[in-house]
Amino acid sequence: MKLHPLAGTLLLAAGILSAPPLSVAEGLPDLGEAAQSEFSPATERRIGESVMHEIRRDPAYIDDPEITSYLNRLGNRLSSQITESRQEFEFFALRDATLNAFAMPGGYIGVHSGLILAAASESELASVLAHEISHVTQRHLARLINKSGQGQVASLLALAVAILAARSSPDLAMGAAIAGQGAAIQNQLNYSRDFEREADRIGLDLLERSDFDIRDMSAFFERLQKYSRLYENKNSAPGYLRTHPLTTERLADMGNRIQSRPYKQVPDSLEFQLVRAKLRVQDGTPRDAVAEFESRLADRNFPGSEAAVRYGLAQALLRDGKLAAADKEVRELRRLKAVSPMIETLEAELRLKQGDAAGAVAILRSAQPRFPQERAVAYGLVESLLEARLPNDALKFTEDDLMSYPSDAKMHFLQAKTYAMLGRRLQQHRAQAEGYALLGQLPEAVVQLELAQKSGDGNFYEYSQVDSRLREVKKRVADEAKQPKPR
């Protein structure tokens, strides 16, 4: 039996292994009074967040601010068209070659790198996101559970776990059976035809209102179906069609709706092409990636733009340690006058690897005001300032940045690194604690705050701040331990 390792962890965390069937068990996130009532959007959000805490620690999770921010921009362009709900969304990518995407409770939408690479256009990728967004806004997950009469938080959590288990594993039934409620979860996991039709209909509307090519929705789903037939007998069909059953009827419905619309050509954004190139480079060995992009360049085979192929080649060369060749490609990129923060961070990374920290600082200092919302540029700038031994400049930057992005865990960690270089131990541990607290890693936050208490280099005011923060975090830990017990 193959079960995604993360799913195993979560099954244990949810206590489902030891306490079948659907009872609220020890180790569940604290869901308070809502636990016994119908799911409120806030409850769904908390379940989703607790599952995300685990996902972010999974090796498959793509912790790349450029890829994450691209997906979120694309997803938010779609979700901003929704007027009737104020649901928040968070999009993330997982390194996995299978073609899949999934929605979890609370608006968390995961996309496999395989699906991003298989999309032939940005509208195709957008169509999958639009479909998933619609499952969330229509609250299909909660409705599935309410329909099954198991209105328990545990079952929503179990469902989230099963979604993860089903991501890549062809052995969903086995994975779910372990949870002691195999059939129930499997039925829940397959969205019903009605839900699928609803998600298609609403998804198409979102696509259209966001100015994507709606024809690409049926095109992509048809391609998924072909792909799925190819793999059917190998017991490794892509998860997408398993959890979103595609019927001829569905395709016909989409076709009818699309036919009445005027044809619209939508060019792919440069970011879409750069993100795909970056994902491709991270797949397999750098040498293979170099060979692939070199041959595309030699054939003048530019499915997107020449800039994206050169960007991919430069990234691959950089990963392969061929700095001079990467430098040449970056110069070619500049000659093409392509504009993207991803090109700025690439060049800065190259300068760092060449030992030219001052060069990296100069590039990112000039890029930062042009791309003030690009987190990768901000992170890169702090890292380059530290590399250039300019911790005071780095500290000033992190302080200003955290005013605008107080819940950015990574920036708190970078600030901790900055304080470490400045030899300020109390502040170092305090910043580290904030990062952990934001990631939901409360025991780690407690440890850091205790280290801050013992640092010996704070003033009275700083120590009392640390003391009161420690009390708050400990209270949160205690609250989370106070959960409904299994009965």
Binding site for Zn ion (CB under 5 A): 191, 196, 199, 244
In the complex, the smallest distance separating the C-beta of residue 244 from Zn ion, rounded to whole angstroms, is 3
Q: Which is nearer to Zn ion, 189 or 361 (CB)?
A: 189
Owner of token pair 């920290």: 357
In the complex, the smallest distance separating the C-beta of residue 272 from Zn ion, rounded to whole angstroms, is 22
In the complex, the smallest distance separating the C-beta of residue 133 from Zn ion, rounded to whole angstroms, is 11
Whether 336 contacts 306, CB under 8 Å: yes
In the complex, the smallest distance separating the C-beta of residue 191 from Zn ion, rounded to whole angstroms, is 5
Q: HSE on the CB side for 301, CA within 13 Å?
A: 9
In the complex, the smallest distance separating the C-beta of residue 137 from Zn ion, rounded to whole angstroms, is 13
Q: Which is nearer to Zn ion, 57 or 197 (CB)?
A: 197
Whether 206 contacts 199, CB under 8 Å: no
For residue 231, the surrounding DSSP H or E stretch is helix 215-231
Question: Residue 115: helix, strand or coil by DSSP?
Answer: helix
In the complex, the smallest distance separating the C-beta of residue 203 from Zn ion, rounded to whole angstroms, is 9
Q: Which is nearer to Zn ion, 134 or 150 (CB)?
A: 134
Structure tokens at 428: 């170092």
Structure tokens at 220: 């992509």
In the complex, the smallest distance separating the C-beta of residue 131 from Zn ion, rounded to whole angstroms, is 5
Q: Which is nearer to Zn ion, 191 or 419 (CB)?
A: 191
Alpha-carbon separation of residue 74 from 61, 70, 92, 234 (angstroms): 19, 6, 11, 33
Q: Which is nearer to Zn ion, 195 or 371 (CB)?
A: 195
In the complex, the smallest distance separating the C-beta of residue 196 from Zn ion, rounded to whole angstroms, is 5
Of residues 213, 184, 174, the one with CA closest to residue 3: 174
* Rg of the chain over all Cα atoms, to the nearest angstrom: 24
In the complex, the smallest distance separating the C-beta of residue 240 from Zn ion, rounded to whole angstroms, is 8
Q: Is the peptide bond before 245 cis (omega within 30 degrees of 0)?
A: no
Whether 439 contacts 473, CB under 8 Å: no
* Residues 117, 97: Cα–Cα separation, whole Å: 9
In the complex, the smallest distance separating the C-beta of residue 12 from Zn ion, rounded to whole angstroms, is 28
Question: Residue 249: helix, strand or coil by DSSP?
Answer: helix
Q: Where are the alpha helices (DSSP H) in 232-356?
A: 239-243, 248-259, 270-282, 286-298, 306-319, 323-335, 341-353
**Which residue type is seen at 161?**
V
Residue nearest Zn ion by beta-carbon distance:
244
**Beta-ladder partners of 111:** 93, 101
Q: Which is nearer to Zn ion, 199 or 202 (CB)?
A: 199
Q: Which is nearer to Zn ion, 163 or 360 (CB)?
A: 163
Whether 280 contacts 292, CB under 8 Å: yes
Question: Residue 456: helix, strand or coil by DSSP?
Answer: coil
Q: Which is nearer to Zn ion, 178 or 199 (CB)?
A: 199
Q: Which is nearer to Zn ion, 196 or 344 (CB)?
A: 196
Structure tokens at 140: 């299909």
Structure tokens at 112: 């496999």
Q: Which is nearer to Zn ion, 152 or 192 (CB)?
A: 192
